[in-house]
Amino acid sequence: MIVLPRRLEERIRKESEKRGVSEEELVVKILSETLGESLDPDTSCELHLKLSEKYLREAEEFLAKGDYVQASEKAWGAAAQIVKALAAKEGRELRSHGELHRYVSKLGSERGDREIPRLWLSAVSLHQNFYENWLPGEIVEEGLESVKEFVEKLRKLL
């Protein structure tokens, strides 16, 4: 973990929200530009895959603690990052929720796999729970299992 002054942490948080990316994605992008290291499709794919794995671990940790709101958001993050990893492998960068939804829909249609969008909807529901906090723990737990299945299914496509 990198230690940063509070003011810089806040600036990174605000800028990542403005751009619709995770704080890690923003920092990697800034570092790559500053150091002259291009983010080619393979490097971007690796970043998103690692973030997906990290968020999935964190979702399980929050679930074990009974923090269903944070577990929900981390599960959403894991699902979104695996989608971004697959898109990055193709040289695409997905920057909005709408782009994520369209990509998942297209992926399911192209592969003839109705499970892809169905499992994705579990992640979307968990993302909404981060803001609404209305899902009981059992549903968050089931949703996390669906997200794990989704992540594994897409990981096999990388």
pLDDT tens-digit readout, 45-63:
999 999 999 999 999 999 9
Q: How confident is the model at residue 2 (pLDDT cuts 50, 70, 90)?
A: confident
Cα–Cα distance, 115 to 118 (Å, whole number): 5
Contacts of 114 (CB under 8 A, 6+ apart): 108
**Domain 39-155's class?**
mainly alpha
The two most distant CA atoms of the chain are separated, in Å, by 49
pLDDT at 106: 98
pLDDT above 90 (res 111)? yes
Q: How confident is the model at residue 38 (pLDDT cuts 50, 70, 90)?
A: confident
pLDDT at 94: 95
In the chain, what are the domain boundaries? 39-155
